[in-house]
Amino acid sequence: MIKITVKAFSFLEKFITETTLTLPEGVSCEDVLRRLNIPKKDVFVCIVNGSNVPFNTKLKDNDSLSLLPHLEGG
């Protein structure tokens, strides 16, 4: 099992603010979204340990995942 911290920004705070999850090894950012019932369409960027990563990136123990909302306005 691995332990990760998840932080959601602004509009995504309606799903979670910050939480620590214990998950099986091999889980991806997408898996975390599904587990937290956060629609993928609401998330623009996944940030792991301070850098953007593809949504299918596998997470490691003690990773910190930040989720930025999809801001479409201009």
Please select the residue that binds another protein; options are 21, 44, 58, 64, rule is CB under 8 A: 44
Instruction: Determine the size of the site formed for another protein (CB under 8 A).
Output: 23
Within 2-31, the residues that bind another protein by CB under 8 A are 9-11
Collapsed DSSP state (helix, strand, coil) of residue 31: helix
Picking from 38, 40, 56, the residue whose alpha carbon sits closest to that of residue 48 is 56
* CA–CA dist 50, 59 (Å, integer): 13
Q: Should residue 53 be labelled a site residue for another protein when binding is judged by CB under 8 A?
A: yes
36 sits near another protein (criterion: CB under 8 A): no
Cα separation, 65 vs 53, in Å, equals 10
For another protein, the binding residues (CB under 8 A) are 9-11, 40-42, 44-45, 47, 50-55, 66, 68-74
